[in-house]
Chains A and B, each alone.
Chain A
Amino acid sequence: MSATITCPICGRRSIYEFRFGGENRGPRPFDDQATAQQWYAYVHLRTNAAGPQQEWWYHRDGCGTWFTTWRDVTLDCEVEAKEGKNE
């Protein structure tokens, strides 16, 4: 676990105040009907990149904002946004 996460509203805070929302894989790719394969991929599959990834975090014990940040999972710390990746 990295030690801090930077909330866009409250700034750098202890990670214990946040809830992890998973890697950012964009909005749900299907509407109300989906094939089993689509649903499975959306609910269960993850990229699990070794290195920087964009993640969702929720400031649960703070302002209650959902936001994305970049974190290098091999170093366990927040990093600068990776160029050319989704915003």
Chain B
Amino acid sequence: MNDRLPGPALRVNPEKTIHFSYRGRPMQGVAGDTVATALYASGVRIFSRSFKYHRARGLYSLDGQSSTCMMEIDGIPNIKAEITSLREGMAVRPQNVLGSPQRDLLAVAQWLDWAMPPGFYYKLFHKPWFLWPIFSKMIRRAAGLGRLNEEGHPGNFENLFLNCDVCIVGGGPAGLQAALAVAELDLRVVLLETRSHLGGFYDWRVVRSAWGQPFWARGRELENTVVQHPAIRVFKQTHLTGIFADNLLSAVQTGQPGEVFDERYMEIRAGSVVVATGSAERPLVFENNDRPGIMQCGCAHRLARTYGLLPGNRAVLSVGHDLMLEAAIDLADMGLEIAVVADARSTGQDESLVDALAQRNIPLLKGWLAAEARGKKGVKRVLLTNRMREESRLFQCDLLIASAGRAPVLDPLLMTRTRFELDRQTGFMLPVQLPSRLYAAGRMLGWDDAQAIEDSGRLAGLKAAADCGFALSDFIKPLEKSLQGRFQFRARQMMSRAPGPGHKSFICFDEDVSVADIHRVVAEGFDSVELCKRYSTAGMGPSQSGIPGQNLPLALAECRGHTLESLRPAKVRSPLRPTLLGTLAGKHYQLVKQTPLRKIQQQLGASFVRAGQWERVQYFGNDPTAREEIANVHANVGLMDVSTLGKFRIVGKDALAVLQRMYVSDLSRLIPGQLKYSAMCNEDGCLIDDGMITCRGGDDYYFTTTSARARDTMEWFGYHSRFEDWDYHIVNLTDGWGAVSLAGPAARQVLSRVVKDDVGNDFYSKGYVETQLKNGIAVRLLRVGFVADQGWEIHAPASATAAVWNALWDAGQDFGIQPFGLEAQNVLRLERGHIIIGEDTELRTTLLDLGLGFLWDRNKKGFKTVGVAALHQTENQPDRMKLIGFKMNDPSQTPPGGAIIVDTQVRGYVTSVRYSQALKQSIGLALVEAPLARDGTLLEIFIGGPDRRRLGAKVQRGPFY
């Protein structure tokens, strides 16, 4: 199977065998093969069965232009075998077949085509209505493509986000020259190429070029220069999926063997874009044009030259371009028997090519084309006719190389605001007006001459570079001029088929839409390109405009008797290539921050929980309700990791002004050693953050925020001072500093054992102390009563936090020190009536609603404090929700968090609730309507579920413990 024809332009290494399986059977390919070429080399000719009629389909384009090459590879359906590199151990399976592609039991569908016109399922099966579900199930089984992998999406996926000065789409001669022109100016270039190698249509041609060497060698030379250029990043097997506003491009790259990803999503932000996507073959439409053994000319030529595979034994060619005559000569020289070459053009062929065919005794029929292929599972005979179908001849063959001519690949430009016009000389739809910073180059502009193609690439590159600020008109103008003189006339060939009804002449392989279907659709009134496309579904399959896009507008014009000038290409949309959902999802990163005390706490048996960006300790040991931890804080002393608290230093002449704007309290009288609890509101007056603020002396302040708010604090401070010319610096110490909370009746004794200073009453009367531990660690002590009367936060640099913990731990052994986690903290603070922002607050609860109005300093003036205006306005609104504490009437009943409070209607809901061991009582916080907020009010809490009932509770303002 690995016998490959020798040749200079091969892209495979026949020495290196690659093993894979097809339908569970072991097969072999060689390094450099795609799945499709390896299968072709192994004798597989029927690749798939079509969507609707289950017709046999085979290798057609090598560029993945239609669904005919879709297979299930390594458990992922709908992978295009033509553009997927073969990897060791791949498991390849055909899809949409009942049995095998050779003997597909659903192939009966092709005899029922008369019953299946476009939209038949809507027309036929909707009456009677109760049968539709049954029909729907049958149709879904028979139609459709791959089988979804229900266990998940195997594969490795990645994202890549790039910036560059110029992005070049297409790595053919024009694209390569454009890339070099830009990169020579030291601008950064990103080049995208869908194939696995660069060089475009040079890559497999062995004829001599104008530069003296054969085209393939010229291509390799350009490829090497580009790949080695430090300013050019080349992405092969990368399919452009969209062009968006401001030159944002999206693309999908398929992983090559050895790459760590299977597919990756890319976004490229480019200053300018050069589109050099070249031209593709316009499919020739004739009866049974989809039979296995019928392929495009480039496909046959590349099979031979790039992969070393002779595509058949005896070939008939029906072509429409000089490149294809060149291919016929080359294939004949490689040993393919060519029965006849039909050229749809009556005149205009390159005479030297005509002579070369004659020398090889290959008959050339000018003005002839294929009208019908015969043979069911592979082509056996071909009927050739002249253009008007007055004469015909039948030829035996096992390979039909069919192509109507060439047409530009417009997909990328069709997504932009480019205006197109049909060019009579080339027969191409040419871009006549492009948006700024977007250029087209190469064969898509109608150039045929290699030198002109390269020059037009260079020209586009220079123009794109000029957009980036280079004065290049001295280079651009002469190049433009020299190109003007070089337009070569090529006989244009717009015809795509010989006359005939076209029942099995397929315009769209993906959706099995034939010429006759288009006629039927037009007869039903869907006569514009967009309507026809939607109703017939031609071009709505996985390949979008790939194959049907070329001929659908032509078929429509023919059907309606319109001139070709009225042609409009059908719209295309992103993604231009089918993209795996896994690729769009990208890699699933679980980015999480860990505190410096993680290891210590792990050894103490901590259970961690994800809290925002952090992993924090929920509880220690086996009790999720943390009863012992709580009891220990009540009775002795507890230690908790609070490193996740936001910690900030703000310093500078205007630091106080900034704080005065953000915090509702007046901080102007804050003296060193004093610690103040305060809160921040948004412009709605709603509480967004609370924390401790202290002055370290002079203009130097230190403050804490809640863990959740730490990330946004810098942004918030910057936003609200953006119009001020304030002189201050703010430093986020959240990750750089760790913190532990020491709380409980024995906290003071523990602290006195570790702190270096003399610790008299004076020391403990201060709210904030900067000192050292006996082991020399500099710490900041904050007196905080969140969970206990006697409580301190000890802040220290992250690298020293573990040492601080250990020092406290050792000193606390005599006092029964134990660690505690979030669950214990939650109960302890609830007992003391303290709120947690985000749990007991909403985005509509103001400072006043939460009972924190005492923090608001109304006498503070002139700082435009955020939220104060709203506080003034909402202060006397009667219909606000208020946060209250409540005790359950039945002490043992604990309603679930979020339970609603009702009388005849919903009056509020429970925000936090816990059973307190210390109080032998369930306690909680709730947001209720103002009339229910008075102390002593009786509440009814509704419990849903199977035993629905109401529990009684009583409002209690103030701390419980």
Contact = CB atoms under 8 A, between A and B. Distances in A.
B245 A39 contact: no
B246 A19 contact: no
B864 A75 contact: no
A31 B161 contact: no
A66 B718 contact: yes
Nearest to B268: A3
Contacts of A28: 864
B491 to A, nearest CB: 42
- Of A14, A16, A30, A56, most B-chain CB atoms within 10 Å: A14
Interface string B255-283: 00000000000010100000000000000
B719 interface: yes
A66 B720 CA distance: 10
A10 to B, nearest CB: 11
B74 to A, nearest CB: 31
A47 interface: no
Contacts of A13: 163
A34 B869 contact: yes
Given A32-B864, A76-B245, A58 B161 contact: no
Contacts of A26: 723
B776 interface: no
B84 interface: no
Given A14-B161, A75-B246, A3 B269 contact: yes
Given A36-B873, A39-B869, A2 B864 contact: no
Contacts of A16: 161
A84 interface: no
Contacts of B873: 34, 36, 39
- Of B714, B723, B865, B869, most A-chain CB atoms within 10 Å: B869
Nearest to A33: B872
A60 interface: yes
A77 B246 contact: yes
A2 B862 CA distance: 39
A12 B724 CA distance: 25
Contacts of A66: 715, 718-719, 722
A21 B924 CA distance: 38
Contact of B163 (A14, A32, A65): A14
B246 A4 contact: yes
A64 B246 contact: no
B715 A2 contact: no
B861 A39 contact: no
Given A39-B873, A60-B715, A66-B719, A12 B246 contact: no
Contacts of A4: 163, 246, 269
Contacts, number: 75
Contacts of B269: 3-4, 12, 14
A31 B872 CA distance: 12
Interface residues of B, number: 28
B688 to A, nearest CB: 15
Given A75-B246, A77-B246, A33 B869 contact: yes
Contacts of A21: 719, 722
B34 interface: no
Interface in A30-59: 30-34, 36, 39, 42-43, 56, 58
B245 A64 contact: no
Given A14-B267, A14-B269, A32 B715 contact: no
A32 B719 CA distance: 18
Contacts of A43: 683-684
- Of A3, A14, A78, most B-chain CB atoms within 10 Å: A3
A62 B869 CA distance: 33
A32 B872 contact: yes
B670 interface: no
A53 to B, nearest CB: 16
Contacts of B719: 21, 56, 58, 66
B462 interface: no
A3 B719 CA distance: 23
Interface in B493-541: none
A64 B684 CA distance: 25
Contacts of A27: 723-724
Nearest to B683: A43
Interface string B817-839: 00000000000000000000000
A32 B875 CA distance: 14
B244 interface: yes
A36 B873 CA distance: 7
Contact of A64 (B247, B715, B872): B715
B163 A12 contact: yes
Nearest to B720: A28
Contacts of B872: 32-34
Contacts of B684: 43
Interface string B850-865: 0000000000011111
B248 interface: yes
B868 interface: yes
A2 B437 CA distance: 15
B564 interface: no
Interface in B695-738: 714-715, 718-719, 722-724
A51 to B, nearest CB: 15
Interface in A57-87: 58, 60, 64-66, 75-78
A64 B861 contact: no
A77 B245 contact: yes
A31 B246 contact: no
Contacts of A60: 715
A32 B869 contact: yes
A39 B683 CA distance: 9
B705 to A, nearest CB: 16
Given A3-B244, A64-B714, A66-B719, A30 B869 contact: yes
A27 B714 CA distance: 19
A54 to B, nearest CB: 13
Contacts of A76: 245-246
B728 to A, nearest CB: 14
A47 B138 CA distance: 55
A60 B715 CA distance: 8
A75 B244 CA distance: 11
Given A4-B163, A30-B869, A32-B869, A19 B715 contact: yes
Given A58-B719, A75-B245, A77-B245, A32 B865 contact: yes
Contacts of B869: 30, 32-34, 39
A39 B245 CA distance: 36
Contacts of A14: 161, 163, 267, 269
B870 interface: yes
Nearest to A43: B683
A24 to B, nearest CB: 9
Contacts of A36: 873
Contacts of A1: 245, 248
A48 B65 CA distance: 44
A58 B715 contact: yes
A32 B246 contact: no
Contacts of B868: 32
B855 to A, nearest CB: 15
A76 B435 CA distance: 14
A13 B248 CA distance: 12
- Of B245, B246, B248, most A-chain CB atoms within 10 Å: B246
Nearest to B723: A27
Q: Which 3 A-B pairs have the closest CB atoms?
A: A3-B248, A77-B246, A76-B245
Given A21-B722, A66-B718, 4 more contacts: A12-B163, A12-B269, A39-B683, A58-B715
16 contacts: A2-B245, A3-B245, A14-B163, A21-B722, A26-B723, A33-B872, A36-B873, A39-B869, A39-B870, A56-B719, A56-B722, A64-B718, A65-B718, A76-B245, A76-B246, A77-B245
Interface of A: 1-4, 12-14, 16, 19, 21, 26-28, 30-34, 36, 39, 42-43, 56, 58, 60, 64-66, 75-78
Interface of B: 161, 163, 244-248, 267, 269, 683-684, 714-715, 718-719, 722-724, 861-865, 868-870, 872-873
